[in-house]
Amino acid sequence: MAVAEGSTFGKYILLKRLATGGMGEIYLAKLTGPEGFEKMLVIKRMLSHHTDNQRYVDMFFAEARVAAQLNHSSIVQIYDMGEIDSVYYIAMEYIDGDDLTRLIGGAQKTQELISPVVAAKIILEAAIALEHAWLAKDIEGRSLNIVHRDISPQNIMLRRDGVVKVVDFGIARAANLVSRTQTGQVKGKLSYMPPEQLLGTKVDWRADQFSLGVVFWELVTCDRLIKPGTSHLELIETTTKNPMEDPRATNPSIPDAVAEIILKMGARSAE
């Protein structure tokens, strides 16, 4: 149930509801303190009808448990998590900007393609952040081997000052932190999944690289690689058996070097 703007939630003031999803509601919030201290942040509150389901609670906090282990300028920071008045919540960094879905949508409306140089810079920063997650170690020096597993335009944000932020590690798998998902269960946005993830086999950092390649394709073409209306079976057939479509077929002005990188990221074999 939505709360009124300006309501107090523990030590936070909820200023505006930003979004509602299947798991929870997201609010722009403010933390205040002595001597005029103020900090803007985002509060994600779990929907009340999920609180009695331990599986949903575990999934909700998985993002915080994983992301809290990471300290990188291009990964959204987690500040706090817990329970207030029987409501589970996560407090995280506020990002003043838009996700890449809006960036692509804006380019489509103006009919102005996104510069391949700009697209490459965004993808590079996201790739460096994902590499940090894969190579991160816990306090005892053990590799965390974090794979995001849900890279899509919605989960990469561009701050107004140009800083790239990877968000939503909610279904990420860290070998030492998150329990295994149910056998055969596929999570994430199907249109961006690599063949090995669609087929339910083991994934590593290369799965994120594949998904990032699809995002790269869509940035430089301002189009969808997997067109809306594609059936589940068609998607699996296309992704596992057919080579990735050359982005130059959609946008001939894409430099060959950029197209070759995208096609390598989107190779069907992880090797």
Residues with a known catalytic role: 150
d(CA 176, CA 79): 21
8 Å CB contact between 199 and 96 = no
- What would the DSSP string read from start to end of 210-241? HHHHHHHHHHHHTS-SS-TT--HHHHHHHHHH
For residue 3, what are the contacts with CB-CB under 8 A and spacing of at least 6? 9, 14, 17, 27
8 Å CB contact between 117 and 162 = no
What is the widest separation between alpha-carbon atoms in the chain? 62
| Locus of tokens 């506020």 | 94
